[in-house]
Protein backbone atom coordinates (compact mmCIF):
# COMPACT_ATOMS: atom_id res chain seq x y z
CA UNK A 1 0.00 0.00 0.00
CA UNK A 2 1.42 3.34 -1.07
CA UNK A 3 1.77 6.14 1.46
CA UNK A 4 -0.01 9.23 0.15
CA UNK A 5 -0.01 12.05 2.67
CA UNK A 6 -2.02 15.25 2.54
CA UNK A 7 -1.40 18.31 4.66
CA UNK A 8 -2.81 20.09 6.42
CA UNK A 9 -5.67 17.86 7.50
CA UNK A 10 -7.96 20.89 7.74
CA UNK A 11 -7.79 24.54 6.96
CA UNK A 12 -9.97 27.53 7.82
CA UNK A 13 -9.54 30.69 5.76
CA UNK A 14 -11.43 33.91 5.23
CA UNK A 15 -13.21 34.73 2.00
CA UNK A 16 -10.72 36.31 -0.40
CA UNK A 17 -7.67 34.59 1.07
CA UNK A 18 -5.48 32.52 -1.19
CA UNK A 19 -4.48 29.15 0.11
CA UNK A 20 -2.58 26.02 -0.80
CA UNK A 21 -2.12 22.50 0.41
CA UNK A 22 0.13 19.58 -0.27
CA UNK A 23 -0.02 15.99 -1.43
CA UNK A 24 3.16 13.97 -0.80
CA UNK A 25 3.85 10.58 -2.29
CA UNK A 26 6.67 8.12 -3.04
CA UNK A 27 8.53 9.37 -6.09
CA UNK A 28 9.54 5.95 -7.38
CA UNK A 29 7.50 4.38 -10.19
CA UNK A 30 5.23 7.43 -10.42
CA UNK A 31 2.57 7.32 -13.10
CA UNK A 32 -0.21 9.82 -12.42
CA UNK A 33 -1.52 12.14 -9.72
CA UNK A 34 -5.21 13.02 -9.53
CA UNK A 35 -6.93 15.79 -7.59
CA UNK A 36 -10.60 15.54 -6.62
CA UNK A 37 -12.94 17.97 -4.94
CA UNK A 38 -15.46 16.51 -2.49
CA UNK A 39 -18.28 18.64 -1.17
CA UNK A 40 -20.16 17.57 1.93
CA UNK A 41 -23.05 15.20 1.20
CA UNK A 42 -21.94 14.83 -2.41
CA UNK A 43 -19.49 12.54 -4.21
CA UNK A 44 -15.92 13.33 -5.26
CA UNK A 45 -15.49 15.15 -8.54
CA UNK A 46 -12.34 15.21 -10.62
CA UNK A 47 -10.29 18.40 -10.82
CA UNK A 48 -7.03 17.46 -12.50
CA UNK A 49 -4.89 14.56 -13.59
CA UNK A 50 -1.17 15.19 -13.92
CA UNK A 51 1.49 12.89 -15.29
CA UNK A 52 4.62 14.86 -16.11
CA UNK A 53 7.17 16.41 -13.77
CA UNK A 54 6.61 20.14 -13.85
CA UNK A 55 2.99 19.82 -14.95
CA UNK A 56 0.79 22.75 -14.08
CA UNK A 57 -2.98 22.63 -14.43
CA UNK A 58 -5.53 25.39 -13.95
CA UNK A 59 -9.29 25.51 -13.66
CA UNK A 60 -10.67 28.91 -12.83
CA UNK A 61 -9.19 30.00 -9.50
CA UNK A 62 -7.79 26.55 -8.74
CA UNK A 63 -4.41 25.40 -9.98
CA UNK A 64 -2.04 22.54 -9.27
CA UNK A 65 1.62 21.79 -9.75
CA UNK A 66 3.51 18.52 -9.78
CA UNK A 67 7.06 17.57 -8.77
CA UNK A 68 7.57 13.86 -9.41
CA UNK A 69 11.28 13.91 -8.55
CA UNK A 70 10.68 15.00 -4.97
CA UNK A 71 7.21 13.45 -4.69
CA UNK A 72 4.74 16.25 -4.09
CA UNK A 73 1.92 18.20 -5.66
CA UNK A 74 0.50 21.53 -4.54
CA UNK A 75 -3.09 22.65 -4.99
CA UNK A 76 -3.63 26.43 -4.95
CA UNK A 77 -6.88 28.32 -4.60
CA UNK A 78 -6.73 32.02 -5.38
CA UNK A 79 -9.23 34.32 -3.68
CA UNK A 80 -11.13 31.61 -1.80
CA UNK A 81 -14.90 31.74 -1.84
CA UNK A 82 -17.35 30.02 0.54
CA UNK A 83 -18.35 27.70 -2.31
CA UNK A 84 -14.76 26.40 -2.37
CA UNK A 85 -15.40 24.77 1.00
CA UNK A 86 -14.86 21.06 0.45
CA UNK A 87 -12.44 18.25 1.06
CA UNK A 88 -9.69 18.06 -1.54
CA UNK A 89 -8.38 14.58 -2.25
CA UNK A 90 -5.30 13.52 -4.11
CA UNK A 91 -4.84 10.03 -5.55
CA UNK A 92 -1.70 8.38 -6.87
CA UNK A 93 -1.25 5.66 -9.42
CA UNK A 94 2.18 4.19 -9.83
CA UNK A 95 4.09 1.25 -11.19
CA UNK A 96 2.07 -1.27 -13.09
CA UNK A 97 -1.15 -0.75 -11.14
CA UNK A 98 -4.02 1.40 -12.31
CA UNK A 99 -5.63 1.24 -8.88
CA UNK A 100 -5.30 4.69 -7.26
CA UNK A 101 -4.27 5.20 -3.67
CA UNK A 102 -6.12 8.09 -2.10
CA UNK A 103 -4.81 10.45 0.53
CA UNK A 104 -7.06 11.27 3.49
CA UNK A 105 -7.82 14.71 2.13
CA UNK A 106 -7.55 18.31 3.21
CA UNK A 107 -10.77 19.83 4.51
CA UNK A 108 -11.07 23.47 3.50
CA UNK A 109 -13.59 25.79 5.13
CA UNK A 110 -13.91 29.30 3.75
CA UNK A 111 -15.61 31.74 6.10
CA UNK A 112 -17.63 34.64 4.63
Cα 41 off chain centre by: 19
Helix (H, G, I), strand (E, B) or coil at 83: helix
- Nearest CA to 90 out of 11, 33, 32 is that of 33
Strand spans (E) along 3-44: 5-7, 10-14, 19-24, 30-38
Q: Which is nearer to other proteins, 80 or 94 (CB)?
A: 94
Shortest spacing between CB 93 and other proteins, in angstroms: 4
Task: List contacts with other proteins (CB under 8 A).
Answer: 1, 31-32, 34, 36, 42-46, 49, 51, 89, 91, 93-94, 97-100, 102-105
Shortest spacing between CB 50 and other proteins, in angstroms: 9
Q: Which is nearer to other proteins, 72 or 105 (CB)?
A: 105
Amino acid sequence: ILNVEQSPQSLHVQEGDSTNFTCSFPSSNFYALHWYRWETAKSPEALFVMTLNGDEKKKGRISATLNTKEGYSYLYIKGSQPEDSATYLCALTSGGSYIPTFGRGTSLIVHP
